[in-house]
A and B are shown apart, each in its own frame.
Chain A
């Protein structure tokens, strides 16, 4: 297999990795916000359950969670886990896991907001939803962006964990080619791809941070 062929195959894998990456963010960022509300809920039972959820998600390996989500339906209900379920399981496991991390980040950001912002908004007659979405959340986003960037960069690398359930993203492909062709090249190419991917992510996040620097 020549180099261009390897490159071509891995580029295809890269697209799949990006698919995992983007869909995970699309689902986990809003889900994390909802979970953070649960975590901060005045209802003790709700906040306790959510606390347990977050601690399990953060306290066990993502690879294990992937296996549970993928094989769980089969062992529990002998459900068919073939076909598109492999991909669904990847996104489900990643989104559930990352949402837990994001929830804690949101929570720290929301709790760091001075009460004066809520009070000023209340006096001016803003509704609770307006207060949160117009006044609080934009400031929270600015505060948590560095922490979110860290998670997002970890996510780029974590997409390779999908190999655990044999979803053929870039890393799985690289391993397959390397074994078949007894060459180390695919790993190097994959590393370069991951690195460029992350560079791109870093540039985008830096740009976002700069855009939010219009105020302090």
Chain B
């Protein structure tokens, strides 16, 4: 089954067309990486999928449940009330700069949404939260506050927080680009461990080797369109001129 379907998505900011009729779908258990030059619209695409931006055209479905569509006035209809609650429960998002809640301890950051949004049982939520923190290597940081953690630790808390709500699909927007190189590895390792748990993920990243290793499928975005799509082997060895230029710039760095 397709967990996510984005059909003919369009998005512009004023005169700037950022997403030009993009369609993509993500199957259950699949890991999809999105790569591409700066400004090609990768973040915007994720923000449209997660409803942080309102699309200007197209339709978004999660588990075949219609999340966003075009109303009769030509404007996107966003889910409200109970619909919103159900649809937001399908996905999680890990931000580039974590966006942890600074006034909550690590454990409360992870537990709060399952408790107060999903209204689940406290003992069960706490047990699961501790298990996720343990998987992230943060069991000893449960009572710490975000300001006491390194960037890599903050990002792992953010991943645990996203997972604690049991989303069907997890989005990452450049999860390591706010981190020092020596902290990048620990976060990538954690994301790889999620792959072993068969968690469906869509990852925007500039870590090419990581994308190659982890992905079932890679999308190369350029100027608001999908310029290349396929297995990592196919995309990374393609002779699309833009893709070659993009990879060339990486190999120089």
A sample of 7 more A-B contacts (CB under 8 A), given A120-B100, A125-B165, is: A120-B99, A122-B52, A125-B85, A125-B89, A126-B116, A139-B103, A216-B102
CB-CB under 8 A from A119, the residues of chain B are 52, 95, 99
CB-CB under 8 A from A130, the residues of chain B are 116-117
Choice from B97, B117, B146 contacting A124 with Cβ under 8 Å = B117
Per the bound structure, the CA–CA distance linking A148 and B97 in Å amounts to: 30
Nearest B residue (CB) for A130: B116
CB-CB under 8 A from A138, the residues of chain B are 103
Per the bound structure, the CA–CA distance linking A66 and B103 in Å amounts to: 40
A interface with B by C-beta (< 8 Å): 114, 116-117, 119-126, 130, 134-135, 138-139, 142, 214-216
**Contact across chains for A215 and B103 when beta carbons are under 8 A apart:** yes
Nearest B residue (CB) for A122: B52
Given known contacts A123-B52, A125-B165, A126-B113, is B102 in contact with A215 (CB within 8 Å)?
Answer: yes
> Residue among B50, B85, B117 with the most chain A CB within 10 A?
B117
Nearest A residue (CB) for B85: A125
> Residue among A114, A124, A135, A215 with the most chain B CB within 10 A?
A124
B112 interfacial contact with A, CB 8 Å: yes
CB-CB under 8 A from B250, the residues of chain A are none
CB-CB under 8 A from A125, the residues of chain B are 84-85, 88-89, 113, 117-118, 165
**Contact across chains for A116 and B116 when beta carbons are under 8 A apart:** no
**Contact across chains for B146 and A215 when beta carbons are under 8 A apart:** yes
CB-CB under 8 A from B145, the residues of chain A are 214-216
**Contact across chains for A139 and B117 when beta carbons are under 8 A apart:** no
The residues in B between 104 and 138 inclusive whose CB is less than 8 angstroms from any CB of A are: 112-113, 116-118
Per the bound structure, the CA–CA distance linking A188 and B88 in Å amounts to: 64
Given known contacts A126-B117, A134-B112, A134-B116, is B165 in contact with A116 (CB within 8 Å)?
Answer: no
Given known contacts A215-B145, A216-B147, is B113 in contact with A124 (CB within 8 Å)?
Answer: yes
Per the bound structure, the CA–CA distance linking A183 and B89 in Å amounts to: 74
**B76 CB, nearest partner CB in chain A, Å:** 16
Per the bound structure, the CA–CA distance linking A135 and B91 in Å amounts to: 20
Closest 4 pairs (CB-CB, A-B): A120-B99, A116-B99, A124-B113, A216-B147
B92 interfacial contact with A, CB 8 Å: yes
CB-CB under 8 A from B51, the residues of chain A are 122
> Residue among A120, A130, A215 with the most chain B CB within 10 A?
A120
CB-CB under 8 A from A123, the residues of chain B are 50, 52, 88, 91-93, 162
CB-CB under 8 A from A139, the residues of chain B are 102-103
CB-CB under 8 A from A214, the residues of chain B are 145
Per the bound structure, the CA–CA distance linking A121 and B161 in Å amounts to: 11
Per the bound structure, the CA–CA distance linking A188 and B218 in Å amounts to: 80
Given known contacts A116-B95, A122-B52, A215-B146, is B117 in contact with A142 (CB within 8 Å)?
Answer: no
**Contact across chains for B103 and A124 when beta carbons are under 8 A apart:** no
**A208 CB, nearest partner CB in chain B, Å:** 14
Per the bound structure, the CA–CA distance linking A138 and B165 in Å amounts to: 23
**Contact across chains for B146 and A116 when beta carbons are under 8 A apart:** no
**A66 CB, nearest partner CB in chain B, Å:** 38
**Contact across chains for A117 and B147 when beta carbons are under 8 A apart:** no
CB-CB under 8 A from B97, the residues of chain A are 116
**A115 CB, nearest partner CB in chain B, Å:** 9
CB-CB under 8 A from B84, the residues of chain A are 125
Per the bound structure, the CA–CA distance linking A126 and B101 in Å amounts to: 13
**B82 CB, nearest partner CB in chain A, Å:** 11
**Contact across chains for B99 and A117 when beta carbons are under 8 A apart:** yes
**Contact across chains for B52 and A124 when beta carbons are under 8 A apart:** no
**Contact across chains for A215 and B165 when beta carbons are under 8 A apart:** no
Chain A to chain B contacts (Cβ below 8 Å), 5 pairs: A122-B51, A123-B50, A124-B117, A126-B116, A142-B103
CB-CB under 8 A from A126, the residues of chain B are 113, 116-117
The residues in B between 15 and 52 inclusive whose CB is less than 8 angstroms from any CB of A are: 50-52
The residues in B between 149 and 167 inclusive whose CB is less than 8 angstroms from any CB of A are: 161-162, 165
**Contact across chains for B147 and A215 when beta carbons are under 8 A apart:** yes
